[in-house]
Chain A
């Protein structure tokens, strides 16, 4: 099975431009980037993919052991970079992917030359001296919500949709199918996202790093953005005039221009 097919890799944009890899977070798939992709594609070569288990990836390649830790997602990122033989790419990771990106960058430094962390949080659970914003019970509540909402996913339709990535119209028979995910897979991704502690990994980041946060983000509050900023030496923190946890959807222009400006600076 090719990584191309497995991770539903899509490459667009200016082929002569610097390569930007857009890594989606928990909850959806590469569709999350649909509003920023056109702006970035003007100047850069844009690589989109779905983690195994998400979107139109090959779900049969999903293994619980692998995707129960952030390393599994980081390996997906590295394998996508290897598949395309990328050098010195900019990895833009949203939410949990910002942390997977840190691990991927450490594993393949020659391939990932800089990081953009969109609304990152290295740890979600409150502890003495650290405020992640949530308690373990809150995460259990989220898992309950996942159980109650099989958004766009149905056991009978899923094989049809997943087995026909080139026929997206099949998915449109279901509403909310953009982020259709097998609930079992979503549960594992949720646990990995919200229970992993990546704080110690931040200090190891040596590449140019941009942190994008929103003014109001219920998932990654400003304290967390400040924490990441101070933990990564030399990082740049930009606070977008946006609300929510997905500025690439709520403020796509501002998000795209912040990324573009950062990448343009790299070549200066």
Chain B
């Protein structure tokens, strides 16, 4: 290690020693440190009267010591707005805390220009704790303030953009809700002696779903057609497809109330409309209800749709299997399968879309599935349509974020005879 230049023996010859440089530095008087400090410095009495101020601050403000000391209060050095802020925030806080740091204010110079500053103050107290005077340092914050103004501008712009985005989002949500509602029946028709209930679960208010259902009279009070289904995809395209599907099925059923024919008509309409590289299809159940004495005869055809479920008045539960029914709109000449079922008093027919059976449950996010649905239905049976739909609505909301698809539910049933099943009417 080389010895330090110079040494303790005295000044080096010709070259100033480090020690000598230090000495020169130490001779920088406290007075000069104060007066020429790179920040403004002032002391005021507790009433704000300036008692002492350094040259740096006087220079910045273009004021002479005589103009300031004993004549001006600290707040006189500020802009009027800054003075208001000083009186309402700065002074009270300083009184309460004895210290206040980093406050952004503006000072007014003798030339009339503004000097953005950062102020830090401490209260000096007497030995017995009485406030004596306030010491304040003042930093020139011109550049810093310009930077902060930029940040504030950006923040305001971001705030504005956020508010606009929220408003747009709200308008979109409203528009989508109206559109979604237009794809569903406003109310189900009142069929004397028959109970009906429906429910539509919207997974996201910002995404149009592609599920649909309907129930409507064919002729008088004795025959009704119904359908329920799920088109591929989501969003506006799915909504357009749903609209086409719904009105095609409605018109087809009114023209010829045969469920298999109706699904074929739909198949043709979809293939006709969506050609080439944009095939669009759906799964659907279509059916006709016909009153026969105190029972309801149901003809039901399915195209690739999950099986309907019957909750019997005696507590039994059965799926109406329609094997071989193909997706609607995927292939020309698609085959659809029809089943018949008779509903007696106390029986309920339930149609649903796969949002229900494909919900994910539990910590391992397992498929809810058909078995669980059958068990759930068995725990309800016998139950009328309203009770079944209410219970399933509650089940769906219990799935939370495990349910990420729209889900349509439709139930039709004959009320149990009063002597055996009055609980269904509660």
Contact = CB atoms under 8 A, between A and B. Distances in A.
B92 A144 contact: no
B47 A178 contact: no
B109 interface: no
Interface in A139-156: 139-149, 151
B82 interface: yes
Nearest to A148: B104
Nearest to A194: B84
A53 interface: no
A34 interface: yes
Contact of B89 (A27, A95, A139): A27
B145 interface: yes
B80 A25 contact: no
A249 B95 contact: yes
Contact of B84 (A25, A28, A145, A151): A145
A219 B87 contact: yes
A17 B100 CA distance: 37
Nearest to B131: A250
Contact of A27 (B46, B48, B92): B92
A222 B61 CA distance: 29
B88 interface: yes
Interface in B101-137: 101, 103-106
A142 B84 contact: yes
Contact of B104 (A95, A149, A245): A149
A257 interface: no
A246 B148 contact: no
A239 to B, nearest CB: 15
Interface string A74-113: 0000000000000000000001000000000000000000
Given A147-B152, A149-B89, A244-B48, A176 B84 contact: no
A175 interface: yes
Contact of A245 (B88, B93, B101, B105): B88
B85 A149 contact: yes
B188 to A, nearest CB: 41
A68 interface: no
A141 B145 contact: no
B47 A216 contact: yes
Contacts of B75: 218
A142 B46 contact: no
A142 B100 contact: no
A164 interface: no
B148 to A, nearest CB: 7
B89 A31 contact: no
A138 interface: yes
Interface residues of B, number: 31
A218 B145 CA distance: 26
Given A31-B96, A32-B92, A249-B92, A145 B87 contact: no
A140 B81 contact: yes
A142 B86 CA distance: 9
B205 to A, nearest CB: 24
A143 B103 CA distance: 14
B81 A246 contact: no
B97 interface: yes
B96 A244 contact: no
Contacts, number: 101
Contact of A250 (B46, B73, B84): B46
Given A149-B103, A178-B96, A245 B85 contact: no
B87 A139 contact: no
B101 A175 contact: yes
B98 to A, nearest CB: 12
B100 A176 contact: yes
A218 B87 contact: yes
Interface string B17-49: 000000000000000000000000000001110
A57 B101 CA distance: 25
A230 interface: no
A15 interface: no
A26 interface: yes
Nearest to A134: B80
A179 B82 CA distance: 17
Contacts of A95: 88
A32 B96 CA distance: 8
Contacts of A26: 88
A34 B96 contact: yes
Contacts of B82: 141-142, 145
Given A26-B88, A218-B87, A243 B81 contact: no
B81 A142 contact: yes
A168 to B, nearest CB: 14
Which of A145, A218, A250 lies at the interface centre, i.e. has the most chain B CB atoms within 10 A of its CB? A145
Nearest to A184: B159
B245 interface: no
A87 to B, nearest CB: 32
A64 B221 CA distance: 56
Contacts of B106: 141, 145
B47 A28 contact: no
A251 B110 CA distance: 32
Contact of B83 (A148, A218, A243): A218
Nearest to A34: B96
Nearest to A193: B88
Given A138-B81, A219-B87, 9 more contacts: A27-B92, A28-B88, A34-B96, A141-B106, A145-B82, A145-B104, A149-B103, A194-B84, A219-B88
25 contacts: A27-B92, A34-B96, A35-B95, A134-B84, A138-B80, A139-B81, A141-B81, A141-B82, A142-B81, A142-B84, A145-B104, A146-B85, A148-B104, A148-B145, A149-B85, A149-B103, A149-B104, A151-B89, A151-B93, A178-B96, A179-B93, A218-B75, A243-B48, A249-B92, A249-B96
Interface of A: 25-28, 31-32, 34-35, 95, 134-135, 138-149, 151, 175-176, 178-179, 194, 216-219, 243-246, 249-250
Interface of B: 46-48, 73, 75, 79-89, 91-93, 95-97, 100-101, 103-106, 145, 148, 152
